[in-house]
Amino acid sequence: MPKKFYVTTPIYYPSGNLHLGHAYTTTLADVLKRYKDMQGFETFFLTGSDEHGQKIETKAKEAGLEPMIYLEDKIENFKNLWNKLNIDYSKFIRTTDEYHEQTVKKIFSLLVKKELIYKGAYEGLYCISCEEFLNPDQIDDNGNCKISNNKPELIKEDTYFLKISQFQSFIETVLESNFLIPDYRRTEMLKNFVEPGLKDLSVTRISFKWGIPINEDPKHVVYVWLDALSNYITALGYLQEDDSLFKKFWADPETEILQLAGKEIIRFHAIYWPIILEALNLRQPSHLLGHGWILSNSTKMSKSLGNVIDPIAVIDEFGADSLRFYISYELPTEKDGNFTMDLFKESFNAHLANNIGNLISRTNNMITKYFNGYIESDINDVDKTMIDLANNTIEQYQSLMDQYKISAAIRTVLDLSAACNKYIEETTPWNLDKEGKNKELATVLMTLQRCIAIISFLLKPILVSNYSDMIEQCGLENIEISFENLQTFKNIKFNRLGNKKILFQRLK
Ligand code: ME8
């Protein structure tokens, strides 16, 4: 039985167009999904849109449209972006999908039956942009929400509460485990939200309509978090007639479940979501990867602040792979990162053009020049030191990817490529040719060819569009490559080099 991997992104608000921040999380999920595919896992990758709530209702009204009409365009745009970015999701969930709405009602009723939901009244300051009630420490000196910069509204209304407070010690145990990564986020959560004491969560509203009306009291609509978080299981068929995906990708304790979320919503995924799952007697995800923000002029790139980069513009000008590379390599998840066009171009030139592109081009030129594109020698006639280094890289790369450390994994590949470029300088194949040392020349070039195949394969989850060109050029078109057969090359035999195309041309 193949191992199973389920990966999710947050479902994004269609209150505006998606920007680089959304492309960031979704690309990371896609890279990990593709990596697991390469390892032979059976995978499922979920993304989607979070369509209820006051913010969407207001936006639609401003546009003079019914919410569903307003949403059509936006969702088209979401899917268009994922298509352009080569995002290979298995399912796109919309919280307005009928099956999702019906299941959320069932979840609500189940929680009522378990006496984990009760009716009360709420008074507090609500940030519409973040769709959450704010604690005093989430408000700045001017009375604005620290994240969105918007003025919160005073709201006083009847609401149903979820008894979060009852799960204090449960959540302490969850956060003391290795569920939330990186480590330091656990301490943050415990210190800021759990230690002060968990407060019950308001899960319904009555002052607007754009949510899921509950069966028990239809003037109340479930909004944002209970609705949104449930998507991770409703999409798989939880409490529905066909729940085979749910059984396979969630209920099975063997499935590796990874959820990704930006740091501003870790609290919902690391506290409320585990509690909802526990309340429903369901297993926990294996890991929640909480990542930092892409900043723009040292504040969060965000729709409400209007300081966003449009990923479509970057893809149209430079191609999807270059953006996928920048995101995966230059923006490690442990900290906040920056994106400017200058940084983007510098990174592209240093790593893709000057390091990898250059290695491929000079190696292939020499194989063409000295051997007419095909080296006739024993596949084992290679430089052992270099091959050991390459095999080490394969191991290290997998170990880092298994810990979801994508940037560090890519670093190992870039280092191997740099070592190959250095190997060319040291062995000077042009001198070996001049001196008539044909056997040595063949060994050097065969070693490089093998390393390039390894480099290409390891970058396959990131450089999705260029991969086939990289492989074709090095003479491995239609040859099955896997992690196992890369270690020995027993089953990999190079053909004559394929058509040459310039890969990763330097950007001005
Ligand atoms: O929060 N840097 O939706 P949302 C990095 N619907 N990542 C960023 C980012 C930035 N500057 N800006 C956005 C919601 N993101 C809810 C989620 S899930 C059950 C409900 C990414 O449209 C990051 O993943 O505001 C962040 O958590 C998410 O987009 C927020 O998207």
Query: pLDDT tens for residues 141-179?
Result: 999 998 888 899 998 899 999 999 999 999 999 999 999
Element (H, E) at 441: helix 438-458
Flag whether the ipTM exceeds 0.85: yes
Q: Which of 319 and 305 is assigned the larger pLDDT?
A: 319
Domain 341-487 homologous superfamily, CATH: Isoleucyl-tRNA Synthetase; Domain 1 (1.10.730.10)
Q: Is the CB of 289 under 6 A from ligand 1?
A: no
Q: Which residues have CB under 8 Å from 201's CB, separation 6+?
A: 161, 162, 164, 225, 226, 272
State how beta strands 294-296 and 337-338 pair. Answer: parallel
Task: State residue 298's pLDDT score.
Answer: 77
Q: In whole angstroms, what is the distance from residue 413 CA to residue 419 CA?
A: 10
Q: Is the CB of 321 under 6 A from ligand 1?
A: no
Q: Is the CB of 13 under 6 A from ligand 1?
A: yes
Any bridge partners for residue 12, and if so which?
49
Q: Is the CB of 337 under 6 A from ligand 1?
A: no
Place of tokens 């893709």: 352
CB 299 within 8 A of CB 193: no
Domain map (residue ranges) of the chain:
4-322, 341-487
Task: State residue 61's pLDDT score.
Answer: 93
Task: State residue 478's pLDDT score.
Answer: 85
Q: Which residue is closest in CA terms to ligand 1's atom 3?
A: 12
Q: Which residue is closest in CA terms to ligand 1's atom 13?
A: 21
Question: Lowest-confidence range among 186-190, 210-214, 223-227?
Answer: 223-227
pLDDT in tens, 17-76: 999 999 999 999 999 999 999 999 999 999 999 999 988 999 999 999 999 999 999 999
Instruction: Report which ligand 1 atom has the smallest distance to the Cα of 232.
Output: 19
Domain 4-322 homologous superfamily, CATH: HUPs (3.40.50.620)
pLDDT in tens, 108-144: 999 999 999 999 998 889 888 887 888 888 899 999 9
pLDDT band at residue 491 using 50, 70 and 90 as cut-offs: confident
pLDDT band at residue 428 using 50, 70 and 90 as cut-offs: very high
Element (H, E) at 491: none
Q: Quote the mean pLDDT of the chain.
A: 94
Q: Is the CB of 303 under 6 A from ligand 1?
A: no
pLDDT in tens, 353-402: 999 999 999 999 999 999 999 998 877 789 999 999 999 999 999 999 99
Name the binding residues for Zn(2+).
127, 130, 145
Half-sphere exposure of 485 (CA within 13 A, CB side): 13
Percent of the chain with pLDDT over 70: 100
How would DSSP label each residue in 60-118?
A: HHHTTS-HHHHHHHHHHHHHHHHHHTT---SEEEETTSHHHHHHHHHHHHHHHHTT-EE
Query: Mean of the pLDDT values across residues 485-505?
Result: 88
CB 78 within 8 A of CB 41: no
Question: Lowest-confidence range among 33-47, 92-106, 146-160, 317-331?
Answer: 146-160
Element (H, E) at 141: none
Task: State residue 499's pLDDT score.
Answer: 84
- Give all strands (DSSP E) within 263-400, no chain letters: 287-291, 294-296, 299-300, 337-338
Query: Mean of the pLDDT values across residues 96-115?
Result: 98
Q: Which of 114, 112, 95, 115 is nearest to 48 (CA)?
A: 95
What is the arrangement of strands in the sheet containing 180-181, beginning at the earlier edge strand?
91-94, 42-49, 4-8, 256-262, 287-291, 180-181
